[in-house]
Amino acid sequence: MDDPVPLPSALLRRSFRKAFPPAVRGEGVYLWDDRGQRYLDFSGSAAVNFIGHGVQEIPDAMAAQARHLEFVHSSQFTTPVAEEYAQDLLNFAGDNFQGGCVYFTSGGSEAIETALKLARQYQVEIGQSERYQVLSRSQSYHGSTLGALAVSGNKRRREIYLPMVREFAQIALPYCYRCAYDCEECAREYAEELERAIALTNGEAAAFISEPVSGATLGAAVPPDGYFQQVAEICRRHGVLFIADEVMTGMGRTGRNFAVEHWSVTPDILVTAKGLSSGYAPLGAVLVSKKVADAISSGSGSFLHGFTYNSHPVSLAAGRAVLRYLQKVKLVQAADSTR
């Protein structure tokens, strides 16, 4: 082992060898450090901030909520902001999620973990307890927790943790720039990989998880038309839940409220985060279809899962204010006009 490098800070940063400028202020698309240097935030701070920095009505909403109630544990209480915001999100997701419900988390990885456990519990509730495998796609990224890594295809992020991760089958991700099927009937060919993978589980497949448009690992790879329609049909036919990971693509980023709407398909579970609060507070959400919610509510009656800070009132106030803001200024329509 090399000689230890002197620690630059008491903070455990993502790299001990990189110099991180201290950000002290943000406004619109710009950030400033403590020496007055201005930076153009091209990436929206890891595809999180999409309404801009310094939109005052968001912290105002958070402060108003904190003055009334800063925290209550969701195992014992609900809150008006949680109930109202959950319904607002279901409405935003469209008719296909009406009658369903929403589970709030502190971010995308927590939300993915929640979706995986929901899929497993759903199968148990309907008498299919042998189903536990979650199929996914190579060159995908679903988060940094162990469950999320298990269904991710980012080799570098997974490598040292593989002894701790339970691995399931992964299928190829459609990449038309270097198409494995020469772009001849490739939507069908890629979808049929899922059919074959499900067959190899011998009835143990619980769910299939996918980013509608690949994000951090491959980079904005749009699938061919017809692909997701066939994937959704295969999942339905085999009793496999379809989980859409819209952590990066959701909340209007692709010119639709959620990216799966481009292909007119309806996932059983939809996960979103990042733009959900636009970075003003840690927040993620899992939108649960009526089919899945009904199976649990009429079965055991409780979801065997929870985090201390899920449904945090101040974070939910931020998320609700962001949703109202993007609707007020018509950001989804603006994104659509740039396609």
Q: In this structure, is residue 195 part of a structural domain?
A: yes
The total domain count for the chain is 2
Q: In this structure, is residue 13 part of a structural domain?
A: no
CA 244 to chain centre: 8
Q: In this structure, is residue 10 part of a structural domain?
A: no
Q: How confident is the prediction along the chain (339 residues), in pLDDT tens digits per residue?
A: 567 767 888 999 988 888 899 999 999 999 999 999 999 999 999 999 999 999 999 999 999 999 999 999 999 999 999 999 999 999 999 999 999 999 999 999 999 999 999 999 999 999 999 999 999 999 899 999 999 999 998 888 888 999 999 889 999 988 877 777 777 778 999 999 999 999 999 999 999 999 999 887 777 889 999 999 999 999 999 999 999 999 999 999 999 999 999 999 999 999 999 999 999 999 999 999 999 999 999 999 999 999 999 999 999 999 999 999 999 999 999 999 987
Q: Which domain, by its residues, includes 35?
A: 19-48
Q: In this structure, is residue 64 part of a structural domain?
A: yes
Q: In this structure, is residue 303 part of a structural domain?
A: yes
Hey, CA dihedral for 8, 12, 13, 17, is it positive or negative?
positive
Q: In this structure, is residue 12 part of a structural domain?
A: no
Contact 50, 278 (CB under 8 A): yes
Counts for the chain of helices (H) and strands (E), in that order: 11, 10
What is residue 284's three-state secondary structure? strand
DSSP state of 277: T
Contact 194, 234 (CB under 8 A): yes
Q: In this structure, is residue 87 part of a structural domain?
A: yes
Q: In this structure, is residue 3 part of a structural domain?
A: no
Q: Give residue 157's pLDDT.
A: 85
Both 193 and 243 in a single domain? yes
What is residue 164's three-state secondary structure? helix
Structure tokens at 206: 């619980």
Both 100 and 44 in a single domain? no
What CATH number should be reported for the domain holding residue 125?
A: 3.40.640.10
DSSP state of 28: B
Both 229 and 109 in a single domain? yes
Rounded to whole angstroms, how far apart are CA atoms 14 and 283? 21
Q: Give residue 68's pLDDT.
A: 98
End-to-end CA distance of the chain: 50
Both 176 and 200 in a single domain? yes
Both 175 and 259 in a single domain? yes
Strands 205-210 and 241-246: parallel
Both 171 and 253 in a single domain? yes
Both 42 and 69 in a single domain? no
What is residue 263's three-state secondary structure? helix
CA 206 to chain centre: 19
Burial of 276 (0-12, 13-18, 19+ CB in 10 A): buried
Q: Give residue 1's pLDDT.
A: 57
**Among 100, 72, 74, CA closest to 86:** 100
Contact 227, 261 (CB under 8 A): no
Cβ neighbours, 10 Å, residue 245: 32
Rounded to whole angstroms, how far apart are CA atoms 248 and 271? 10
Q: In angstroms, what CA-CA distances link 261 with 41, 193, 207, 213?
A: 28, 23, 20, 12
